[in-house]
Amino acid sequence: MDRRTFLRQSLVATAGAGMLTTAGMVTARAAEPGSGPYGSIEGIDPDANGLILPEGFTSRVVAVSGDPVAGTDHLWHLFPDGAATFPDGDAGWYYACNSEVFNFMTGFENHGGASSIHFDADGQILDAFPILSGSHSNCSGGPTPWGTWLSCEEGFFPPAWGRVWECDPTGEGEAIARDAMGFFAHEAVAVDPEEGMLYLTEDSKGGVLYRFTPDAYPDLSSGRLEAMIVVEDSVTWGEVADPTGASVPTQEQVPGAYVTPGAEGIWYHDGWIWFTTKTDNRVHAVDLRNQQYELVWDGSGDRQPLTGVDNITVEEGSGDLFVAEDGGNMELVVISTEGEVAPFCRIADPTHEGSEVTGPCFNPTRDRLYFSSQRGPTTRPTNEMVAAVDLGNFGGVTYEVTGPFRGRIEPPAPSTTTVAPTTTVAPTTTVAPTA
């Protein structure tokens, strides 16, 4: 069995296990500020990497843009953004991450893409390599249950609208453009493995939430694109007749489509999708089985502690949401299943001012959390990485946080049964020596 086949089967099994252990735990509710499951981080000093973390958690820098990833010759890409992890079949994992270099920054040349880092079971880096090139504006994306990374282009300008690329995090297969999923300012995507549907966000003031139904799931080469309509919290869907948006933008093709202004991250968990809209600082949820919409967090008016909502992930073991801030005070904020909103991590180093927190995701055993400061300080200037991009030494830093996440998968306990050592027993009969 090759790595890609094992990866696909492992992900399906992992997703199923997660749904069984958390079934019935996740429901949307109006969240309120609180201390959260890990307690307050106020009064805690930053660690050596400039992160303020709850007690019991530690951090390390995984990669710095423009520098070789440790132990490899692969230069980490500029402006790291959306990310996800995938089991490798040997207790390790692949970490796939986008490079958000917008085409309008480069004279509409394509300098974005995505890379992957391979970790072993102990979290040591084995390799790093590109998995997508010749792309642009790669913002967020999403993992699939069959083991691929969907990289979303946030292209704003026709005819270079964004598209979705399906990438192999192992680096063994070529990336494939999935044009049937539409041309617009793609942000992120989440897969419902039970119904075989995909949900996509659009980062635009007049953007809408899309649903893509493949003709032959999980083949994404063809299918039907729809936009969400919400009436008194009941959800229906209207077909997008022309997913290319060639004559009419996709967001304008469905009368009454629910506007999701500046939509950002989206994640599927246990029959729900959760997504964010930065224009109004809100976190939303849709109960897919009952087609009902709910507002989870309303941060309008810069309501604390969560502002500048952006990328999102769900810690599958507990159902807790982790929301990254674009600006604000550079925090990663947890919305617990108990309905409390609390900062989990803050990047306190002032050299990260003007950056944003991107790409939160957990490793398969959920004891390591990855994220980036997209324009964090670097040793090399950005124009040495991409000549047309001149933003000084602020190309991005990628972190790992390790600790007692409450949904982590515990390693098997050592056996308490003691086996008695083997003893040598002398024979009970002997042969008399010859006289």
For the stretch 288-324, pLDDT in tens is 999 999 999 999 988 999 999 999 999 999 999 999 9
Each residue of 191-214: pLDDT tens digit? 999 999 999 999 999 999 999 999
- Domain presence at residue 411: no
Number of domains observed in the structure of the chain = 1
Mean pLDDT estimate for the chain: 90
Q: What distance in Å separates the CA atoms of residue 129 and residue 72, rounded to the nearest whole number?
A: 9
Q: What is the pLDDT of residue 410?
A: 85
User: In this model, does residue 46 exceed pLDDT 70?
Assistant: yes
**If we measure between CA atoms, which residue out of 372, 389, 365 comes closest to residue 80?**
372
- Domain presence at residue 261: yes
- Domain presence at residue 415: no
- Domain presence at residue 129: yes
Each residue of 213-268: pLDDT tens digit? 999 999 999 999 999 999 999 999 999 999 999 999 999 999 999 999 999 999 99
Q: What is the pLDDT of residue 15?
A: 36
Q: What is the pLDDT of residue 411?
A: 76
> Average pLDDT, stretch 271-297?
98
User: In this model, does residue 429 exceed pLDDT 70?
Assistant: no
Higher pLDDT, 1 or 242: 242
Higher pLDDT, 25 or 158: 158
- Domain presence at residue 435: no
Categorize the per-residue pLDDT at 160 as very low, low, confident or very high, splitting at 50, 70 and 90.
low
Give the tokens for residue 234: 């009941």
Q: Is the peptide bond before 193 cis (omega within 30 degrees of 0)?
A: no
Q: Structural domain of residue 243, as residue ranges?
A: 3-402
Exposure letters 255-265 (e unless 16+ CB within 10 A, then b): eebbbbbbbbb
Categorize the per-residue pLDDT at 156 as very low, low, confident or very high, splitting at 50, 70 and 90.
confident
- Domain presence at residue 305: yes
User: In this model, does residue 63 exceed pLDDT 50?
Assistant: yes
To which H or E segment does residue 321 belong? strand 320-325
- Domain presence at residue 418: no
Task: Tell me, rounded to whole angstroms, the distance of Cα 280 from its chain centroid.
Answer: 22
Each residue of 387-397: pLDDT tens digit? 999 999 999 99
User: In this model, does residue 363 exceed pLDDT 50?
Assistant: yes
Q: What distance in Å separates the CA atoms of residue 130 and residue 255, rounded to the nearest whole number?
A: 41
Q: Where residue 41 sits, what CATH number does that domain have? A: 2.120.10.30
> Average pLDDT, stretch 392-420?
83
Judge whether 181 and 175 are in contact, CB under 8 Å: no
- Domain presence at residue 338: yes
* Beta-bridge partner residues of 85: 95
**Least confident among 20-29, 77-86, 296-305:** 20-29
Q: What is the pLDDT of residue 158?
A: 72
User: In this model, does residue 353 exceed pLDDT 50?
Assistant: yes
End-to-end CA, the chain? 67
Neighbours of 218 (CB within 10 A): 16
Neighbours of 395 (CB within 10 A): 31
Categorize the per-residue pLDDT at 179 as very low, low, confident or very high, splitting at 50, 70 and 90.
very high
What percent of the chain shows pLDDT beyond 70?
87
To which H or E segment does residue 21 belong? helix 3-22
User: In this model, does residue 49 exceed pLDDT 60?
Assistant: yes
User: In this model, does residue 424 exceed pLDDT 70?
Assistant: no
